[in-house]
Every structure is written in C-alpha cells, then in structure tokens.
Structure 1
Amino acid sequence: MKISFATTAALIASIGIAAPVFAQQSAPQASGAHWVTSWATALQSIPQRDALPPLYRAPEVAGRTVRQIVYPTLGGDVARVRISNLYGRAPLVIQAMAIAPSAGGAAVSQAESVRVTFGGREAVSLPPGGELDSDPVRIGLKRGAPYAISSYMGAEQKMVAWHRVSSQVNYVSRPGDHVANPSSGAFVQRFTQYAWVTGLAVEAPGGQTIAAIGDSITDGMRSSLNENRRWPDALARRLAREQGAHLAVIDLGISGNRLLSDSPCYGEALERRFQRDALGHAGVRTAVLLIGINDINFQSMPPRAGLDCDYPHTQVNADDLIAGYRRVIAAAHARGVRLLGATITPAALPPEREAIRAKVNQWIRTSGQFDGVVDFDAALRDPADPLRLRREYDSGDHIHPSDTGYAAMANAIPLEAIAGK
C-alpha cells in the first residue's frame, strides 16, 4: 500500500515536532522527474514468539535514533528516501530523519547533513502495510560512497520487520533525538540488519536500475562485513567501469528465501514478493533471478521444535520450480521488465536433490523463456567435480561463495544482457 502526500499530511498532523537545524532543506518537487532506485533492500517479518533465539531478537528502538549505512550505486544531486511499514501491526512513527555522508562508524558529516521530510513535515506516521517516498532533498549523492540515514523513532515504536542479513553494521542510540548529532558517542548499540528504510532513489535522466533478486547467494551471506562484497555490489562496480554512469544495481536477496513457499524467518515466497520488492522500485528495467536451492533443500530438513524456520517443508520437484519461474517471468513481462534467469549454483547435494537442480538448470539454459541467461553454475563449479564449488570460490560451507566467488559471479554476467543491448 503506497500512501499519498495528502494522506500523509493528515496522518502526521498530530505528531509534528520542532525541526532541528540542518545545512540544507528539501528540494522542490521536480515536474516530470525521472527517478532511479540507487540502493534498496527487501524486508521480512521478524518471528513474534516468546523465547526467540538471539539471532531473531530485534533491538529496542522506541524513543531512540536508528542510524543505518547505505551505499548508493548511482549518483545524483537530488534524492528521496523510501520507508515501509510492511508487516507492521501498528503505525510506524518517525519523528525526524536526516541523511548525511558517513564519516566512519556511526559518525557523520554535520556540515552536509540534510533534513528529510514527508509531505513537508518532519514527522510521519505510516499505517501498517504502508510505504512512502520522502520529499526530494538536495544532497549530491556520490556513487559507492557511504551515507547514514538517521531516524528518530516514536516513543512506542517496535521493530517487527527487518532485512536480517545486511552484511553491514548499523547503530541504535541511547534514548533521545540524535538525528543531528554528528558524533558516534550516543550510538551505543550495533546491529546487522536494515529496518524501515527500503530504498534510496536519485533523479537521473536516462538512468535505469538492475534489480538482483533471490536468496542468500544474492543477499551476500558469508561475504565480508562492511565491505560490500556481494555479487550485486561487484556488478555495480563493474558496470560503473565498463558501462558509464547511468546504471544502478539494487540487492533484493533474502537469505533463506524460497521461490514457492513462505517461511516464518526467511520472508515471503519470491513469486509473491517479486512485484513489490523488484518491480515496485523506480527505474527497474532489468531483473536477475537466482532462486530455488532452498526449495530443493528445505523439503528434506527435519522439523524442529519451537522456531522452525524451514517450515513448511514443502515437497517440490523440477516441474514445480519451472512453473514458478514461468509465473515470475509473466509478472516481469507484464510490467515491461526484462528478466534474466540465473542457473542454481553447486551445493554438494545428494543425488535426488542434485537431479532437481540439474533439470532446472537445463530448462533455464535451453527453454528460451527468460530474456537472457546468467550461468552462475558454470562460473562457480569445480571443473574436476562439477557438483561442488571451486575451492577458491567456496566460503567454507560448500553452498555460499567467498568474496572471490561473488566477484566471479559478477564477472560472469554478460553485459549485453544486463544492460539491455
């Protein structure tokens, strides 16, 4: 559910607060502006039950300032921030927000901090399920540079949705409004998720966005913390070098995600979230789909007492996955978006599961249903044992690539396909 600025004004009329002083103010709305999403993430609900494992316990954010670090993949003079209350059960209340260049850790450049407003107001209350783009702000985003988005949260705010594997350290302050505080001293807690901020777009005439969507291998699981070594990051750097300054790449992978089944921990099934998480972003003209290994694996996982993140243990075969791919392809084409199919990478599977992977990969390569093929399987497999990752590309668990492996994935993508030539 997207919320209009008129609706926003009505929602926030009762919670406005005094505005802190910032270096710059909101830019005027540009008529006919061409927006391109330069950074984004996908949300998943946080399991709500007693005695959660530490991995699924959200930080306390009520009345505190949350500072999140993002890296735009396309620059621009004017930007806007997207917030989301997806999976929320109560309004999302942000009392103040700013964006500023990161100065390392939780510190920011005070001189370049810009106040972010919504419908001309500093405070916003977003109903459950809603999402909203901010007013445009002039900040002059630089491609590949870190920016801190600071949000002073409502007095009763709880975190009920996040992007769990951010591979990025973010920060929560002690109680109070520290949006305008340039130092790191007030930010006493670290967490490695993203919350509420789901997109950063720039005004970029002629630009477009490549949406990478999938599971943990797109999410960058086991890549180096704070170093942007996921394959979509490496692709963004490659495109900047080889294709110029008009293409952005956004990473919409969710670790544990499946094509066909929801999960208590790993998000909605990709075929159901695809329209929102990929097609819903400004400027998306091409998407790369890598999904299916968890559908193949989770059906064989034993049920667990308590929190069973692999539930439901849906039985799937290659035909089930192919039917799901066809539905995603149709959704992309209905919106005029080109969809590239990526082969499922080696995972040292037992024979019955490997047979499913092999049949699916054969269909991806030969069916002609996708607008192009990205053969990640061929790029990562060991020539001496094609059912396994090459040793230098293996992070150690025989499923997820190392930083070197993620770089090899980015280099394997045919640019004539990714750039729509």
Structure 2
Amino acid sequence: MKHALRDRRPTWSAITRRNLLGGALAATLAASVLTACDGDDKVTHWYGSWSASPQDYNEPFPAPPPPSFFNNQTIRQVLRTSIGGDQVRVRFSNVFGTSPLEIAGARIALSAGGSSIEPASDTELRFNGNASATIPAGGELWSDAAELRVGAEEELAVSLFLATETAVSTVHALGLRTHYVAAGNALSTETLSGAETRSSYYFISGVDVRSSARANVVVAFGDSITDGAGTTPDTNRRWPDYLSRRLRADGSAGTVSVLNAGISGGRILTDVIGPSGVNRFERDVLGQTGVTHVIFLLGINDIGFASFVPEQEVTVEQMTAGTQSMIDKAKARGVKVLLGTLLPWKGANAGGVPYYSEAGEAKRQAYNAWVRANTTVDGVIDFDQALRDPADPLALLPAYDSGDHLHPSDEGAEALANAVDIRLLEVRP
C-alpha cells in the first residue's frame, strides 16, 4: 500500500506549479483578512504567530519515517506562539496531498505540558461554521476565528481527529517537538495517557492571532540552520525562537512576531528535501499574514549538496540570481529584506559524507561577498562574522558548534539571533 502511494506521487514540475498557485492563494487570503473591526469599532489585525513550512512526506530523499497512514486517531501537536492576541485561527495544509484531506474534528487549547491541555481553555475549531472540513489535494484551509486568548511565547496544543484512513502527505519533518497520537476521538481528553509520540508536524502550517496592537511580522527564511538542527528538542532554541524572545525582552522595537520558514536540507534553486526556495517563497514568506520583513539565511546546501549529487552542482551566479529574484518579489510587495551571510563550515560532514570542500568554500566566500555588497536590500546580517572562530575564520567557534561543524549549537543559535540589529525590525507609525 505504501509503495502504491509513492507511485502516485506527483512530479516535481507538478509540485512546483501547485506550490506557486497555493502561494498566490495564500497571499491573497492573507491580504484580504488582515484587518477588521470588532463590535466596539476598534480596528483589529490578524498576524502570523507560528509557522512550519510544508514538505512532501513522500519525496524520494530522505526516506520518510513511519507512519505512512493515520486511521481513527487523534494527533495532538504542540507549538509556541511568538506574539499573543484575543482570538486564534489555525492553517491546515494538504499542499502535498494527492487526495482530499478529511478533517473529522479539531480543537485548540493551552498546553499543560507533555500531552496534557488546560481543560478550561479547550476550544473547538470550526470551518465555515462546520465542525469538519475537506481540504482538496494541493490546498490549505484556515479554521474560523476561535475565541481563545493566547499570550506571547504561549504553548498551544492543536488536536486533529482523522476518522478514516488518511495517507500522510504534508508534514514538517524536523519538528523538534514531541507530539502525541492516540486512538479514536480524543480531541478533548485532558491527558493522552499511553499515546504514541512523533517529532514531525502533520497537516498544520500556521497559527494566526488577532490583536488591536500594531505589529511587524518577520519571516526567517532558511534551511536546517534556521529549522533548528543541532539545537535541543522541546526547548525552543532555534535562532528565530531566540530572536522572538530577545525582541519581547528588549521591547524597543515594539510588538514583533518571528515566524520560522526553515526547511532542513532546503536550497535556493533545487527541489527535493522540501521545495526549493524560489518555488516556496511566495507561499512560505509572502503568504504569511501581515508579513513585513524577511531574513534570508539560505544557500549552504546549494553548495554542499554536490558532494552527494554532483549533477546538481550550481554556480555562484545561479545562486545570487535565485536569491535576487526572491528579493525583488519581496520588495515589490513592500516587504523589507535583511540578507544574511552563510556561516563558516570548515570540516562539515553530513551523514558521514564530507560536505565541506575548498571549491565549495570559494563559492561561499563569493556568495558572501555578493551579500555584503548588495544595495537592493534593507540590511545585511553578517552571520558569518558572528559565529566564526577568530583562530580559524573558516570554521565555527567551538562553543557555537553542535558537533558536525555545520549546524550551530544552542549557544550558536542564540549568537545568530543576537547578530540581528533589532532596530531594523522596529514597528513604525
């Protein structure tokens, strides 16, 4: 059965077309519902507060982990908001599905840790007034607004009931959170005792909050370094998490939400291990509700992946052209762009295969020189300089190295967040 599902997988060209269409629809939706008035004629706004970029569970590399299906099961997924609000809505995703996604029920609540929820906060999610929904293949769907007040840096649990056999299709592979799967309809069960655990996100890609405050929404667009590989699971220590907390603690920039749009293994130009940056930028960045800024940290896999697949080698000129095309799209939408340099990676390996090479290092240096000289962006963040070892500038500082010489540790992720000039993210009248 599993192999039959893979045989029906769409081609990458089909996925690319579908991604672009889905992104355009998401951007239209985000623009159309950004502001509203409540009963007191007070202007309110919807803002993205959490995101996880969709991936195809059935792509050929890497080999997908189990399960390949859910059937009569409840999935409880835990996430953390960036900013808070008085209402919340959830985006459910079937972007990579090859058949309709049947949602039999969904609820949201404040997390009480582990698989537990705060019962008093347990709130039904409805879809155009209905308790269930069908999302067509290639589509995404926002729930209706739910009356749940959530705070900044709040732990939420989204519970999803799949009553019939449902092929796993749309995921975010590196969730770095423990999620729970229980038999039957356990949507409102306080604690899912004996539940199976998972670490990927399934069928959810975003959470918005409604607020009367004026806020900026910053999207961190990148690969595994942004996705949090190398940091401690279940601790929210990805660099966008640190940036969100830093902005809130400092307060000088105003209310700023930070969304994570990293995909481990992702590249600027080439699909597989998630859609390429140029193919997902419309949906994963410009489609976020209220987006005002994007921070780029993407490209090291375009260089290093040639160690695995030499025929996918790309030139620096191709990398810069791809990045510039996304910069131009953002600027055309009024989104401010902060462009990051690629981190030191001397000695990096991936799965035992050498990733670093002298030829690759020459490309990194050339790409970083282009970044530093780019006059079309609103700011440059020199992540390279912030994390390099002064005694060996081609390598990560040992304290910032998770051990593979490619991905930052928890301390390295915090150093990335600290390298961002938060004045560039300031909410302005």
Aligning the two structures, in what range does the TM-score lie when normalised by the shorter sequence? 0.7 to 0.9
2 CA distance for matches of 1:356 and 1:52?
A: 25
Q: Which segment is superposed worse, 246-255 or 196-205? A: 196-205
What corresponds to 1:317 in structure 2?
Answer: 315
After superposition, residues 58-77 of structure 1 pair within 5 angstroms as: 58=67, 60-77=69-86
Q: Is the 8 A contact 1:219 1:230 kept in 2?
A: yes
Partner of residue 380, structure 1: 387
TM (normalized to structure 2)?
A: 0.85
The answer to whether the Cα contact below 8 Å between 1:204 and 1:246 also exists between their aligned partners in 2 is no
> Structure 2: which amino acid aligns with 1:362?
A
Counterparts of 1:336-375 in structure 2, within 5 Å, are 336-348=334-346, 349-375=356-382
For 1:21, the equivalent position in structure 2 comes to none
Corresponding residue of 2:135 = 126
Q: CA deviation at 1:284?
A: 0.6
Match of 2:249 among 241, 244, 248: 241
Tell me the distance in 1 between the aligned counterparts of 2:198 and 2:307. 32
Query: Which one of 96, 106, 120 corresponds to residue 115 of structure 2?
Result: 106
For 1:273, which of 280, 305, 311 is the aligned residue? 280
Q: Which residue of 2 aligns with 1:218?
A: 226
| 1:83 Cα deviation after fit | 0.9
Give the Å deviation of 1:222.
1.5
Match of 1:17 in 2: none
State the Cα distance separating 1:300 from its structure 2 match.
Answer: 2.6
Deviation, 1:302, is 4.9
Provide the C-alpha distance between the structure 2 equivalents of 1:31 and 1:65, rounded to a whole number of angstroms.
Answer: 38
The amino acid across from 1:154 in the alignment is A
Which residue type is aligned with residue 401 of structure 1? P
* Partner Cα distance (1:253, 1:295) in 2: 15
Partner of 2:146: 137
**1:22-421 equivalence runs, <5 A:** 33-47=44-58, 53=63, 56-58=65-67, 60-174=69-183, 176-185=184-193, 188-205=195-212, 206-243=214-251, 246-263=255-272, 266-302=273-309, 313-348=311-346, 349-419=356-426
Is the Cα contact below 8 Å between 1:364 and 1:370 reproduced in 2?
Answer: no
Question: What displacement does 1:160 show?
Answer: 1.1
C-alpha separation in 2, matches of 1:198 and 1:41: 5
- Partner SS, residue 395 of structure 1: coil
- Are 1:41 and 1:198, in contact at CA under 8 Å, matched by a contact in 2? yes
Q: Which has the larger share of strand?
A: 2
Deviation at 1:325? 1.1
CA deviation vs aligned residue, 1:331-385 (integer Å, no higher than 9, x gap): 1112111111100001113211101000110110112122211111000000110
* Structure 1 stretches of 4+ moved >3 Å: 30-33
Gaps of 5+ in 1: 4-26, 304-312
The residue type equivalent to 1:344 in the other structure is L
Change in 2 beyond 3 A, CA 1:335/1:315: same
TM-score (norm 1): 0.87
Partner SS state of residue 338, structure 2: strand
Is 2:69–2:165's contact at 8 Å kept on the other side of the alignment? no
Contact kept in structure 2, 1:118 and 1:135, CA below 8 Å: yes
1:304-344 deviations in Å (ceiling 9; x for gaps) = xxxxxxxxx41212111111111010111121111111000
Q: Distance in 2 between matches of 1:163 and 1:93?
A: 19
Shift of 1:250: 0.6
Secondary structure, counterpart of 1:346 in structure 2: coil
Contact 2:93 2:170 in 1 (8 A): no
1:334 partner letter = A
How far the C-alpha of 1:32 sits from its partner, in A, is: 6.3
Structure-2 separation of matches of 1:371 and 1:58: 43
Q: SS in structure 1 opposite 2:104?
A: strand
Per-residue CA distance 1:188-223 (angstroms, 9 max, x = gap): 211110111111111123122110011000000021
Q: Name the count of aligned residue pairs.
A: 382
Helix, strand or coil at the partner of 2:77 = strand
Distance in 2 (CA, whole Å) between partners of 1:31 and 1:171 is 39
- CA distance in structure 1 between the aligned counterparts of 2:163 and 2:129, rounded to whole angstroms: 18
Please report how far the alpha carbon of residue 154 of structure 1 lies from its aligned counterpart in structure 2 after TM superposition.
3.3
Instruction: Report the Cα offset of residue 47 of structure 1.
Output: 2.3
Deviation per CA, 1:47-92, whole angstroms, max 9, x where unpaired?
267x984x53335422100100010010111111111110111111
Counterparts of 1:70 and 1:121, CA distance in 2: 24
Q: Distance in 1 between matches of 2:324 and 2:54?
A: 24
| Equivalent residues of 2:116, 2:191 under 8 A apart | yes
Alignment check: 8 A CA contact 2:255 2:427 kept: no
Output one character per residue of 1:81-133: Cα deviation in whole Å (capped at 9) or x when no partner.
11111011111111111101111111111111011101001000010111111
CA distance in 2, matches of 1:148, 1:319: 44
* Aligned mates of 2:129, 2:72 — CA distance in 1: 22
How far is 1:35 from its partner? 0.6
SS of equivalent to 2:116: coil
Which residue in the other structure is 2:12 paired with? Answer: none
Partners of 1:296 and 1:328 in 2: how far apart? 18
Identity %: 36
Using a 3 Å threshold, how does the CA distance of structure 1 residues 33 and 65 change in structure 2: closer, same or farther?
same
Q: Which runs of 5+ in 2 are unaligned?
A: 1-21, 27-37, 347-355
